């Protein structure tokens, strides 16, 4: 459920920045083709990935889709083209888009206090839902503790807890209750810290406002209108085919464990969806191209605060490019799968990468992440 490969984002943001970052979209040229993509995918594989796939799109011309490595360590089958994978925190932009649509319809305000919609839910150990807004939730500026890093609760923390609890189901109220056992990281609106609990609460607000589960609203407002026929809601442990198996290393030097099948409810609205590179591409292009949100709502989504070496808005992140300018993205991490993407300002050009290996060995994990980042940079700067 983590963002950008790791379960935690480096803490940043000394203060919330009110104005959006000025973005100069880098224009990818025609110098990045199938050979270059295959080269970069092989680099990700050589850095430690069992399997990896990517899709590169431009304003004109056919999309370029390539794979490297294998889908199954036992059968040695090739990674399927446009295979499904758990998109983890790439779920968050879908949920944020729904909340922003509801704001546009006047059914809620981004400046509503959480307490207004979920009375008494955000309370305890210094948490106060009266001081936290929906905007704070979507932008990770609420200060709310991240339930997914609670060492006593986390079902994916070790091989033992994973084996014992991988199919356990959790209700969103249970996840929030875990977070409420801990004090907040800071006063609402004063800093940034990534917390999956923020989006669990956003999903609960969607349900309260609409009367429907967040999955139903994502399906009706995003998945079906965009024709995302290979995107599924992650309602149970099943993993639709075709897919590469997801391999997870729980400790440095430990074995790679097949983590393909698990109950996604631990991530809930912060990380449950399953999709493909083609569907994620269609989603981000529609989102950034104005196909899902009115212009003024997209501006608010892109209103960012510092986040490590990049910036974060409302369910949407931004990273710099080596050639100048930057790209919009989110990314995600869940046992067995990592996702990353980058799209130019209007979404017309971009790349989506799925890696079916999550390593705990620091050097190999960093090398794998660096190889994916280099692929995105090459594809957008060619």
Catalytic residues: 89
| Three state DSSP letters for 141-193 | CCCCCCHHHCCCCCCCCCHHHHHHHCCCCCCHHHHHHHHCCCCCCCCCCCCEC
Q: How many C-beta atoms surround the C-beta of residue 314 within 10 A?
A: 28
In this structure, is the dihedral angle defined by the CA atoms of residues 46, 58, 218 and 81, taken in order, positive or negative? Answer: negative
Q: Are 17 and 305 in contact (CB under 8 A)?
A: yes
Q: How many C-beta atoms surround the C-beta of residue 167 within 10 A?
A: 12
Q: What is the DSSP letter of 221?
A: I
Q: Are 346 and 332 in contact (CB under 8 A)?
A: no
Picking from 288, 50, 78, 257, the residue whose alpha carbon sits closest to that of residue 161 is: 257
Q: Are 269 and 88 in contact (CB under 8 A)?
A: no
Concatenating the DSSP letter of every residue in 272-332 gives --EE-HHHHHHHHHHHHTTSSS-HHHHHHHT--EEETTEEE-SS-EEEE-TTSSEEEE--E
Residue found under tokens 């490595």: 69
CA gap 355, 209 in Å, rounded: 36
Picking from 98, 100, 137, 23, the residue whose alpha carbon sits closest to that of residue 295 is: 100
Structure-token pair, residue 263 = 């109950």
CA gap 305, 318 in Å, rounded: 10
Residue found under tokens 């997801």: 246
Q: Which residues have CB under 8 Å from 216's CB, separation 6+?
A: none
CA gap 266, 148 in Å, rounded: 8
Picking from 323, 313, 326, the residue whose alpha carbon sits closest to that of residue 287 is: 313
Phi, psi of 355 (to 5 degrees): -115, 130
Q: Are 7 and 196 in contact (CB under 8 A)?
A: no
């Amino acid at each position: 459920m983590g963002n950008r490969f790791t379960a935690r984002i480096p803490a940043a943001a000394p203060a919330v920045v009110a104005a959006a970052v000025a973005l100069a979209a880098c224009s990818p040229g025609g110098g990045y083709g199938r050979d270059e993509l295959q080269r970069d995918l092989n680099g990700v594989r050589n850095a430690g990935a069992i399997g990896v796939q990517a899709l590169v799109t431009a304003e004109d011309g056919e999309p370029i889709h390539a794979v490297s490595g294998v889908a199954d360590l036992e059968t040695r089958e090739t990674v399927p083209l446009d295979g499904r994978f758990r998109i983890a925190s790439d779920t968050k932009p879908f949920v944020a888009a729904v909340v922003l649509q509801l704001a546009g319809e006047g059914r809620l305000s981004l400046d509503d206090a959480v307490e207004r919609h979920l009375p008494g839910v955000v309370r305890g150990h210094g948490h106060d839902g009266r001081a936290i807004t929906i905007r704070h939730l979507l932008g990770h500026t609420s200060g709310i503790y991240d339930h997914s890093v609670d060492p006593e609760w986390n079902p994916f923390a070790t091989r033992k807890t994973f084996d014992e609890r991988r199919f356990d189901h959790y209700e969103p109220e249970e996840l929030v209750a875990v977070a409420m056992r801990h004090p907040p990281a800071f006063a609402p609106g004063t800093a940034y810290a990534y917390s999956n609990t923020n989006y669990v609460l956003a999903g609960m607000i969607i349900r309260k406002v609409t009367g429907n589960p967040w999955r139903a609203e994502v399906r009706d407002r995003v998945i079906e209108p965009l024709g995302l026929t290979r995107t599924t809601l992650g309602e149970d442990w099943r993993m639709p085919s075709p897919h590469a198996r997801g391999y997870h290393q729980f400790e440095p030097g430990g074995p790679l464990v097949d983590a393909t099948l698990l109950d996604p409810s631990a991530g809930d609205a912060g990380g449950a969806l399953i999709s493909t590179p083609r569907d994620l591409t269609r989603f981000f292009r529609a989102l950034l191209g104005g196909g899902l949100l009115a212009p003024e709502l997209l501006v608010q989504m892109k209103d960012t605060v510092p986040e490590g070496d990049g910036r974060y808005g409302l369910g949407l992140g931004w990273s710099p490019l080596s050639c100048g300018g930057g790209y919009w993205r989110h990314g995600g991490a869940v046992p067995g799968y990592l996702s990353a993407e980058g799209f130019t300002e209007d979404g017309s050009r971009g790349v989506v990468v799925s890696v079916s290996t999550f390593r705990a060995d620091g050097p190999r994990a960093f090398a794998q992440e660096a190889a994916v980042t280099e692929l995105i940079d090459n594809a957008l700067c060619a």
